[in-house]
Amino acid sequence: MDSTETPRLSRLTAILTQLQSKRLTNATDLAKKFQVSIRTIYRDIRALEEAGIPVFTEEGKGYSLVEGYRLPPVSFTESQANALITAEQLVLRNKDASFVREYSDAITKIKAILVHKTKDKADLLSKRIAIRNNPGNDSTSNNMSTIQLALTNFNLLKIDYQAADQAERTKRTIEPFAIYSTQENWILIAFCRLRQEYRAFRLDRIEKLEILDEHFEPHKMTLPEYFAYCLAKSRPLT
């Protein structure tokens, strides 16, 4: 076999995984990821099509697999399984119960498809990793899963929120925009219709949450743009 064939076969398999994991991916991103030319990616896509893989090309946007097509279950290397087990321990220390529950269910399904040898080693590693929580931080939440669904489906959220600097909680209708984590606390960035601006809400201070049937227009701003906006606001005027 030609020495170039094995790397190409590995790349084709990896491209298939990328196509299955994303709704749409383009040749430029694939070329950067695999450190090859865009022309090489074009040839790889043609090779997949010739092999009978139903790749759909959306002109000017990128590639995807035809809806309904699924690859056989993926396999994990030992190092990849170890990374998942380590991530599991990080998740288990998280302060949002719904997030821990959903991830635990997902990792159980992933463990089920590991080969026996890798599964045994993963079980051993899971017993030899511990990440201690900060004992001074006992605040919890249980709304991550609902918030994630609202964010991706553009549903308004109605919340009762207890801010640290306010004696009484306030009722807000918000448009969820993004989520990030800091110091074990999850932060929801949302456009607050009460304040008419983007605000950050700690999940453990949301005392009541309701997902509404009403939808909002998707936000045009990206998360990096939001952080840049916040940085600019915090700078003194010159």
**Structural domain boundaries in the chain:** 5-65, 78-127, 144-234
Q: Tell me if 198 sits within 8 A of 192, measured CB to CB.
A: yes
Per-residue pLDDT tens digits for 86-142: 777 777 777 788 888 888 888 877 776 777 677 777 777 777 666 555 555 566 788
- Predicted local confidence at residue 131, as pLDDT: 57
Cα of 109 vs its chain's centroid, Å: 18
In the chain, what percentage of residues exceed pLDDT 90? Answer: 28
- Tokens standing for residue 147: 């918030």
Closest to 191 in 3D by CA, of 173, 210, 214, 166:
173
pLDDT at 50 over 90: no
User: Bigger pLDDT: 65 or 217?
Assistant: 217
Closest to 155 in 3D by CA, of 146, 163, 164:
146
185-192 β-sheet, strand order: 197-202, 185-192, 170-182, 155-161, 206-215
User: Bigger pLDDT: 129 or 161?
Assistant: 161
The CATH number assigned to the domain with range 5-65 reads 1.10.10.10
Written as one letter, the residue type at 113 is I
Between 1-15, 73-87, 194-208, the lowest mean confidence (pLDDT) is in 1-15
- d(Cα 185, Cα 192) in Å, to the nearest integer? 20
- Predicted local confidence at residue 138, as pLDDT: 60
User: What CATH architecture is 144-234?
Assistant: Roll (2.30)
Q: Tell me if 17 sits within 8 A of 52, measured CB to CB.
A: no
pTM, two decimals, is 0.57
pLDDT at 82 over 90: no
Closest to 170 in 3D by CA, of 213, 208, 143, 133:
208
Written as one letter, the residue type at 196 is Q
3 state SS of 212: strand
Torsion of CA 129, 133, 134, 136, to 10 degrees: -150
Common-topology check for domains 5-65 and 144-234: no
- Predicted local confidence at residue 6, as pLDDT: 46
